[in-house]
Amino acid sequence: MKNKIILLLIPILMLSLLCSCNKPSESSPPLNEIYEAKHQRDEISSRIFSVYKMETEKAVYEIEKMEGIDSIKAEEIVNDIENLVKKIIAYNEELYITKPTIIVTQYDIKTGVEFEVAYCINSTVVVNFDMLESYDLTYCIVEAMSSIDDHWLLHGITGSVLEITIDQNQLQTYYSNPDNLNTLDFFGMRFMYEFNGEESAYAKHTAIALYKYIKDKNGFNSIVSFNPQIQIKVTKDMKNEWLESIGVNNIYDSMYDGLFNGYRFNKKGDFDITIISSFAEYNIVMQEDERFLLSSIDNVELFLYKNLMGVKELKERLSASKYYDKLKTDELIVYEINESLLWGGGQTPMESGVVELNSIGIEFFHIHETVHSIFHNHDQPTSLFTYLQEGLACYLSSTATSFYTYFTNPVSKEPYYEEHNIISLLHENNANGQTFVKLYDNSQVLEQNLLDYYLSHGGKIGSLEDFNLSLYADAMSYAILKAYEGNLNNVNLYPIYESYVTYLVNTYSLDHVIGANIDVGKFEEIFGKSNEIIFSEWKDYLFEN
């Protein structure tokens, strides 16, 4: 009986399948026809609203349905924007990579409130009704269609598409002041009004004028590269030739030239600015105060330069290690920088590897904390690991090219080391105990031992360039050990961490220390001696030399 039921069901199933095959499938609305729809919440939008929607061969349009906007008016708006899209494509077809979605609305789709600035996220452009004939709309459409990130190139193309004429006399006056030549670094934050004020106009006008000058003289391909992505390719010579053409005699010769091409600038969460490069993401809370390092775009540029070059050097040094492939050197380094905090310096929670930098520690600790980020997946809860990890971070930071690890005084712009200031002050005050009186008991004895050791081992009192940061760590370790012997519970151990690891590197090798950081349990196997024996040898080295 069971088999008969199954046999009877087979024809029914076959008829059902045949009927379903004959049903017309749901098709998307035809091109160039406007219809009513709902804009749904997505990765950008936080609200649902009614729209008139139309898709053409070139773009997808959504016009918010509201008082004064019916289907006829919506179609007029679509046609006007469509003509602009076609104008951009006619300018250069190679710029058309992605079909954009263009949303016209009275209220921001992210916040639901009125807004005044058109913007682009991925390939979606959002603009309000009052900006339909604006420069910004054209800029955003070019960005959405081409996926270009470079502000200079976007403004240059937009200005050319709209055939904008720039007042060359204003630019001549501006660049006749040599302090303004850094605008030509092509640093993206210079285009952001909230960080650059009125001077953002000069960056925009420069981009349009420079782009047009080079394109007219040498052609589009001389200024734009399509491989591996669309980006601007402008040399110092081109910039200086343009300066000369507008009557400026100053020569542009910045060390930052071309370094920040490809950096992207936006806002993320509670941060004032997020900067993304090929190797790092910087989430920054800024302060408009001269006490702070990142109080100006020039200073942000300085920090990014130091970080770029410092991390490059750090990775090159680590790459010589046989353990290099076990380190997190290919992951994007995430920096969270908060200049609203006047305390602390830096830390890197080992569970996340996110580098946290505060106020005065931003420059001095950025390489130190990057070391922790690179080693964050090797965290081991032992005292020896703390010595090795903190010591390695101190060693690699202190022995890096000093320019990457100097502090910069935000007001005077002069570099300095706190340790250099301490040595100079001790020498000036004859180690009278006042420098460390709030930090250490027996401060006068500690100061005298520190100064004596530093000077007797070749340390110099004088310029910052002559200061020896590693010798300072040895001298401070000697002074602490002599003053406190085995009671180190309430003292700053970082000089000891650094001095001990520097001794390990100089006596054995950097590779030994890296290997022990990866697996602290193999310390004795790697070094051929126990930590206790080598630590004792290090103390003998300090006290007997």
> Per residue in 420-443, pLDDT tens?
999 999 999 999 999 999 888 889
415-416 and 407-408 strand pairing:
antiparallel
Averaged over 203-209, what is the pLDDT? 96
pLDDT of residue 407: 83
CA-based nearest residue to 519, from 353, 329, 378, 318 = 378
What is the rounded CA–CA span in Å between residue 375 and residue 525?
20
- More confident of the two residues 445 and 44: 445
Q: What's the pLDDT at 233?
A: 84
Percent of the chain with pLDDT over 90: 67
Mean per-residue pLDDT, 72-98: 95
Give residue-wise pLDDT tens across range 337-378: 998 877 768 999 988 999 999 887 788 899 999 999 999 999
Q: Comparing 252-256, 400-404, 423-427, 509-513, which segment has the lowest mean pLDDT? A: 400-404
Closest CA to 258 of 301, 310, 303, 311: 301
pLDDT of residue 531: 97
pLDDT at position 27: 58
Give the pLDDT band of residue 6 (cuts 50, 70, 90).
very low
Provide the H-helix boundaries in 33-167.
Answer: 71-91, 135-146, 151-161
Average pLDDT, the chain: 89
Q: How confident is the model at residue 23 (pLDDT cuts 50, 70, 90)?
A: very low
Residue 419, class by beta-carbon neighbours within 10 Å (0-12 exposed, 13-18 middle, 19+ buried)? buried
**Percent residues over pLDDT 70 in the chain:** 94
Q: How confident is the model over 455-496, as pLDDT tens digits?
A: 999 999 999 989 999 999 999 999 999 988 767 777 889 999
CA-nearest of 50, 52, 58 to 75 is: 52
CA–CA separation, 256 and 545 (whole Å): 44
Sheet architecture: strand order including 124-127: 35-39, 49-55, 60-64, 101-104, 124-127, 119-121
pLDDT at site 199: 86
Looking at residue 109, what is its pLDDT? 86
Distance CA 495, CA 470 (A): 9
Count of C-beta atoms within a 10 Å radius of residue 122: 13
Record the tokens describing residue 474, joined without a space. 């040895």
Selected residue with higher pLDDT from 42 and 454: 454
Mean pLDDT of the region 28-42: 86
Consecutive H or E run containing 403: none
Indicate the range of 11-15, 193-197, 269-273, 430-434 predicted with least confidence.
Answer: 11-15
What's the predicted TM-score (pTM) here?
0.86
